[in-house]
Amino acid sequence: MTSDEEKFTMEKSSCNESVQVVVRCRPLNEKENDSNCTSVVKIYPSRGVIEVENPNARSENEKNKIFTYDSVYDERSTQQNLYDETVRPLVASVLEGYNGCVFAYGQTGTGKTFTMEGADGDEKGIIPRAFEQIWAHIDRKTGVEFLVSVRYLEIYMEEIRDLLRSKSTKPHELRETNGQGVTVTNLHSQTCQSAKDMCRAMRAGNAIRTTGRTNMNEHSSRSHAIFQIVIEMAEERSKSVKIGKLSLVDLAGSERQSKTGATGDRFKEATKINKSLSSLGNVIYALAENSSHIPYRDSKLTRLLQDSLGGNSKTIMIANVGPASMNYEETIVTLRYAYRAKSIKNNPVKNEDMKDGKLLGLQQEIERLKQLIMEKSNGDFNASFNETDDNDIESDEEGSKEEKEKKLELGKMEVDELAKKLKALEKQMVHGGKNIVDSVNENEMRLEQQRGEIAARKKREVEMQQKLELEEETCIELKQVFASLQQQVDFKRDKLKRLNSKLQSIRQEIRDNHEVYVKDRQEIEEANDEAAMHLRKWFLIIDNFVPSEERTRLINLAQFDDNIDNWVLRKEKIRINPADRPFAHNYRRPISDAALQMSHASPKYRGENVLDLKLDMPLRTTQDYTPPAICPQIKSIVTDVIKNELEHGHIVIKMPSHSMGRNVSSKVEQEGKYKQATKAMVDMHNFRNRGASSAKAGFQ
Ligand SMILES: Nc1ncnc2c1ncn2[C@@H]1O[C@H](COP(=O)(O)OP(=O)(O)OP(=O)(O)O)[C@@H](O)[C@H]1O
């Protein structure tokens, strides 16, 4: 790194360093202009202050909200300024071996993608400008070897996708490794030899990144995208490497369904986007509050940003906002998050003296191949030379000469193969300082350095201005020399007034925060209720369909896997006591008695392992028929009747005299009934004793 460049490098430190927070406001867009929206955002770049006017203010206290950040950019700010003043120093640190992260956060349609990727020409964004800075540095740096690789991924609907190898079906999981932080498995890493290579990789990834159209943005990013650049650097003949890692993150925007008009898939995406952004908000909040638990595990996004927020990276958060009055609430929410992020402390550590870099392995392999090629070429040449001499002396046989030529040819082919391999490996590595004359225009380089100097000066000015304002406030009283008591009273009254208005605005802020808190709590309670209902449904199913002993077994097997952030069932070790195994009849596997018997009839049944099981019969629910009991008097009459029938061949039924009614009509009626009942009983008797003579019934 040149001494000029070093000037702009962030101060080297292994101690705490705050996350740098920058706010950028885009111009009013066509739609907002058409709907007569006014701009409610005022930016003061020289002081790092942004003032937002509440369009629905009911009182003076509610009217304006003021926030201070490391730097602020208004709608006239250029991509070049933002990069030079904010990102250039961070990339310079990465080239020294630090981890760096830039992430753009904000409501949908506020210019995150514009800031990170930008458009062609002067409007190119942070990512392509970082490519240029990295390669300009490599081109200038002599005596150093570099291995530069890129990775590009998106988190869509809480799933990780590789944007450089979209067809890969291998699963991408998050793994926490010592020293490397959280990494993604099976992610393709592409080595690059120039800024153009990197641009190609970025464009290829952007082409398949998930975007969609909403009411708020024609090309809305529906996923969080992370472009990662890993730069390994080694001085010549050094046995260790420095590794700088730069993560450039374009987050999906937060959105309200009522404004974006998201339905169907767009709505599902929006729900996931808002959920992961709310996890990010919670992480920022917990870090700002110095909480003992930081909920990184709540989403994939927060796990991947773990190093950047509260970890060992230098981090810049760019909060993008829109100026329109209709987006006042969203703008305030973004500014509050950004304000909280200001108090996050990171602990950047230089990754130097690394012994496990890919570059070292590559250098060793190149050395080995060079050695091998040298040995092979010398060995083959000498061998063929010696053999030729011997042959001259001993014999001149044609056959052996041909053989030698063949051997020579084979040796040459082997060397060619090794040379090809060597070339491919060497191609992956870049020697610094090689292209200084061809690719870097001297004037442009100087211009770039001057821009950097101006940017650094401007940044210092803002810092000084902020410090001055703070000190002015506290020192003004000390500086004041009061001529009279009245003057002192007036001054104190003014101060009281100022403090009172400050108090009011703080109270208002507390009220606003409380409102947001109540809203958040409501949302959490709703989500909680929904989750509880869901859980109750599963309990119902489990209680009714999973036997209790099976439940206990599964509970014992369940364990939480940190790597995939989910519960898994451990594999059960089943130990079979050999004595419990079924008797195998000396066959390879246990065979049932039925199959054994059938196989005697024909060997083709041997495979049919039929078990002879006893049927489990259902309980009997019917009874045998028992005839109803017959009254003894009727029974004797029936017996008489049957006896008569057997003796005389017909039935005679006589009414017993004691059962006759008194008057004539009832007598006739009773007689009829009696005869009917007796006949029915005789019929029944005959029916039961089928085969008995079927006598004709006659009545007397
Ligand atoms: N600073 C700016 N100057 C000019 N135009 C801008 C600026 N910022 C954003 N825009 C324009 O605003 C529109 C939306 O921007 P962009 O797509 O970058 O928003 P976003 O925040 O990435 O949205 P989403 O979260 O939906 O992906 C684009 O047409 C972009 O060109």
Summarised one tens digit per residue, pLDDT across range 76-113 is 999 999 999 999 999 999 999 999 999 999 999 999 99
CB atoms within 10 A of CB 682: 19
Asked whether residue 388 carries a pLDDT value surpassing 50, the answer given is no
Most ligand 1 atoms within 8 A of CB, residue of 25, 26, 117, 222 to mutate: 26
CA of 146 to the centre of ligand 1 (A): 35
Reported as type and span, the H/E element at residue 190 is strand 190-192
Residues 434 and 140 sit within 8 Å (Cβ to Cβ): no
Asked whether residue 589 carries a pLDDT value surpassing 70, the answer given is no
Question: If you count them, how many residues does the chain have?
Answer: 700
Least confident of 188-192, 323-327, 589-593, 642-646: 589-593
Burial state string for 298-333 with b = 16 or more CB within 10 A and e = fewer than 16: bbbbbbbbbbbbbbbbbbbbbbbbbbbbbbbebbbb
Q: Is the pTM of this model over 0.90?
A: no
Alpha-carbon distance of 269 to 252, in angstroms, equals 10
CA of 75 to the centre of ligand 1 (A): 12
Alpha-carbon distance of 349 to 312, in angstroms, equals 6
Give the residue, by CA position, lying nearest to ligand 1 atom 11. Answer: 111
CA-derived radius of gyration, the chain: 46
Smallest CA-to-CA distance from 175 within 562, 567, 563, 559 is with 563
Alpha-carbon distance of 96 to 169, in angstroms, equals 36
β-pair partners for 133? none
Is 644 or 224 the better-scoring residue by pLDDT? Answer: 224
Mean pLDDT in residue range 232-251: 88
Residues 193-204: pLDDT tens digits? 999 999 999 999
Residues 133 and 80 sit within 8 Å (Cβ to Cβ): no
3-state secondary structure 37-81: CCECEEEECCCCEEEEECCCCCCHHHHEEEEECCEEECCCCCHHH
Cα 595–chain centre separation? 54
pLDDT at res. 628 = 75
Annotated binding site: 106-113
Residues 676 and 653 sit within 8 Å (Cβ to Cβ): no
Burial (CB count <10 Å: 0-12, 13-18, 19+), residue 173 = middle
Alpha-carbon distance of 584 to 334, in angstroms, equals 73
Confidence of residue 20 (pLDDT cuts 50, 70, 90): very high
CB atoms within 10 A of CB 213: 12
- How high is the mean pLDDT of the chain? 80
Mean pLDDT in residue range 64-68: 88
CB atoms within 10 A of CB 540: 10
CA of 113 to the centre of ligand 1 (A): 6
Most ligand 1 atoms within 8 A of CB, residue of 217, 248, 249, 301 to mutate: 217
Residues 185 and 172 sit within 8 Å (Cβ to Cβ): yes
Alpha-carbon distance of 404 to 220, in angstroms, equals 69
Alpha-carbon distance of 276 to 158, in angstroms, equals 8
Residues 190 and 151 sit within 8 Å (Cβ to Cβ): yes
CA of 22 to the centre of ligand 1 (A): 16
Confidence of residue 379 (pLDDT cuts 50, 70, 90): low
Cα 391–chain centre separation? 72
Q: Where is mean pLDDT largest: 242-246, 350-354, 432-436, 439-443?
A: 242-246
Give the residue, by CA position, lying nearest to ligand 1 atom 8. Answer: 111
Mean pLDDT in residue range 285-306: 90
Alpha-carbon distance of 112 to 108, in angstroms, equals 8
pLDDT at res. 135 = 92
Alpha-carbon distance of 20 to 549, in angstroms, equals 56
CA of 115 to the centre of ligand 1 (A): 8
CA of 604 to the centre of ligand 1 (A): 75
Residues 297-352: pLDDT tens digits? 889 999 999 988 988 899 999 999 999 998 998 999 899 989 989 989 999 988 88
CA of 118 to the centre of ligand 1 (A): 9
Ligand 1 interacting residues, C-beta cut-off 6 A? 26-27, 29, 106, 108-114, 217, 219-221, 252-253, 320
β-pair partners for 149? 191, 230
Tokens 């008097």 found at: 633
Asked whether residue 557 carries a pLDDT value surpassing 80, the answer given is yes
Burial (CB count <10 Å: 0-12, 13-18, 19+), residue 445 = middle
Give the residue, by CA position, lying nearest to ligand 1 atom 16. Answer: 111
Confidence of residue 10 (pLDDT cuts 50, 70, 90): very low
Q: Residue 362 half-sphere exposure, CB side, CA atoms within 13 Å?
A: 20
CA of 21 to the centre of ligand 1 (A): 19
pLDDT at res. 90 = 94
Residue 59 has phi, psi (to 5 degrees) of -140, 170
Confidence of residue 245 (pLDDT cuts 50, 70, 90): very high
pLDDT at res. 482 = 66
DSSP single-letter state for residue 292: S
Confidence of residue 588 (pLDDT cuts 50, 70, 90): low
β-pair partners for 246? 100, 229
The atom of ligand 1 lying closest to the CA of 320 is 21
Dihedral angle at the C-alpha atoms of 484, 485, 489, 494, nearest 10 degrees?
Answer: 20
Asked whether residue 449 carries a pLDDT value surpassing 60, the answer given is yes
Sign of CA dihedral 689, 691, 696, 700: negative
**Structural tokens at position 390:** 């011997």
Residues 222 and 337 sit within 8 Å (Cβ to Cβ): no
Alpha-carbon distance of 441 to 28, in angstroms, equals 38
Smallest CA-to-CA distance from 186 within 197, 199, 178, 175 is with 175
DSSP single-letter state for residue 122: G
Alpha-carbon distance of 352 to 695, in angstroms, equals 123
Q: Where is mean pLDDT largest: 328-342, 488-502, 657-671?
A: 328-342
Annotated binding site for ATP: 106-113
Cα 604–chain centre separation? 55
Residues 112-161: pLDDT tens digits? 999 999 998 889 999 999 999 999 889 888 888 899 999 999 999 888 99
Confidence of residue 700 (pLDDT cuts 50, 70, 90): very low
Give the residue, by CA position, lying nearest to ligand 1 atom 1. Answer: 26
Alpha-carbon distance of 234 to 367, in angstroms, equals 15
158: region left, alpha or beta (phi > 0 left; psi from -120 to 50 alpha) = left
Residues 68-86: pLDDT tens digits? 999 999 999 999 999 999 9
Alpha-carbon distance of 347 to 311, in angstroms, equals 6
Mean pLDDT in residue range 259-288: 82
Most ligand 1 atoms within 8 A of CB, residue of 25, 76, 114, 260 to mutate: 114
Alpha-carbon distance of 286 to 294, in angstroms, equals 6
Smallest CA-to-CA distance from 308 within 112, 90, 134, 162 is with 90
Is 514 or 586 the better-scoring residue by pLDDT? Answer: 514
DSSP 590-622: ---HHHHHHHHH-GGGGG---------PPPP--
Confidence of residue 580 (pLDDT cuts 50, 70, 90): low
Give the CA distances from residue 328 to residues 54, 334, 529, 543, 617, in Å, rounded to whole numbers and listed in that order.
7, 10, 30, 50, 76
In three-state secondary structure terms, 174 is strand
Least confident of 15-19, 80-84, 377-381: 377-381
Give the residue, by CA position, lying nearest to ligand 1 atom 23. Answer: 109
Alpha-carbon distance of 91 to 85, in angstroms, equals 12
3-state percent breakdown (helix, strand, coil) of the chain, nearest 5: 50, 15, 30
CB atoms within 10 A of CB 112: 27
**Structural tokens at position 606:** 């041997």
- The end-to-end CA distance of the chain, in Å, is 140
